[in-house]
Amino acid sequence: MDLCSLIERNAAFTPDKPAIIFESGILSYAGFRARIEQAACALKGEFGVSRGDRVAILSLNRPDYLVLLYACARLGAMLVPLNWRLAVAEQLFILSDAGAKVLVLEQAFAEILPALEKSLPNTAIVGLDFTPPKGSAFDLLLAQARGDGRNPHTDLSCPLLIVYTSGTTGRPKGAVLRQEALLWN
């Protein structure tokens, strides 16, 4: 069992019930499950994301934030949320320290891209609401995703989230949370 089991169960028993209600509309449990599977397949197929890899996100709250969290849970990967209020240099430090394989971001935060391409050229870029000059568009990746995004070796003990501290005594430090921590909170 992993965190995605809850979504799969709800999608099986109540597929048309709302899973996410947001300004842009309602996403049912069946739609949420399908989008999670597409995202997991895209991350695995396009970027080789697997257990232990890090996927960073730089975005305001939106449904695809949760889609990425659950896609990482399905793959055994870890999501690294970036605070959009941090300076670009601080965001770059966190990306480097976490060893992010992929950065998914909103166009509103695209000012990080020139510095990212210079200092972390091997980090893949995915735009949530745009197509980055040297990257991919999230919706297009999901539309083209094929295969199985499931990693049979994930369970509630797998690390899922790396949340960085404020760094009040120096540089921010990553605090790792396992799937079970999110389930029980």
Q: What is the pLDDT of residue 114?
A: 95
Q: Round to whole Å and give the CA distance between 113 and 173.
A: 23
pLDDT tens for the 185 residues of the chain, in order = 788 889 999 999 999 999 999 998 999 999 999 999 999 999 999 999 999 999 999 999 999 999 999 999 999 999 999 999 999 999 999 999 999 999 999 999 999 999 999 999 999 999 999 999 999 999 999 999 987 766 667 888 999 999 999 877 888 999 999 999 988 87
Sign of CA dihedral 9, 129, 39, 52: negative
**Is this model's pTM higher than 0.85 or not?**
yes
What count of other Cβ atoms lies within 10 Å of the Cβ of residue 40?
Answer: 28
Q: Kindly list the domain boundaries of the chain, sorted by start residue.
A: 4-184
Cα torsion through 51, 78, 32, 6, rounded to 10: 80
Distance of CA 92 to the CA centre of its chain: 17
Q: What is the pLDDT of residue 167?
A: 76
Q: What is the pLDDT of residue 151?
A: 66
Architecture in CATH for domain 4-184: 3-Layer(aba) Sandwich (3.40)
